[in-house]
Structure 1
């Protein structure tokens, strides 16, 4: 994977697909401004699994404080984007 060509749209698409798979809902039903805890079927364990899958997918790791501060889908996308950017800066 060439990390220097990752777009925010790609991160958003992967995030929506990951959420959809974990929550068993269509990705098309997930909007950027949706509150994560309000998504159908969402609970803390499923959200932690989503974050874990995103960390593995993008080879990043988030601090607990960062994860618990995220409220919306868009904030989760932004957290991943920043994490990938930090990884690039560190390479």
Structure 2
């Protein structure tokens, strides 16, 4: 994982924790977002919207919905921002 991807992963974890009301300490790069308590399709859309706002990018639906872990989301974001 590159430094940029690591920073994005940390940011994604913070956003997921905030939107889902989870503890940051309970989330890791390999955490499957579908298994986090409180996760549903609406909240996942909120997470993606927050990520897009933070990084000023628009993520393709097929890229976002084709992944499930925090690290996979971070990789998609890193590709979108050119990291």
Q: 1:73 aligns with which of 70, 74, 77?
A: 70
Q: Which has the higher helix share?
A: 1
Larger gyration radius, structure 1 or structure 2: 1
Structure of greater relative contact order (alpha carbons < 8 Å, 6+ residues apart): 2
Flag structure 1 segments of 5+ consecutive residues without an equivalent.
Answer: 1-5
CA RMSD of aligned residues (A): 1.4
Flag structure 2 segments of 5+ consecutive residues without an equivalent.
Answer: none
Structure 1 segments of 4 or more deviating over 2 A? none
TM-score (norm 1): 0.83
TM-score (norm 2): 0.90
Q: 1:45 aligns with which of 35, 42, 45?
A: 42
Number of residue equivalences: 81
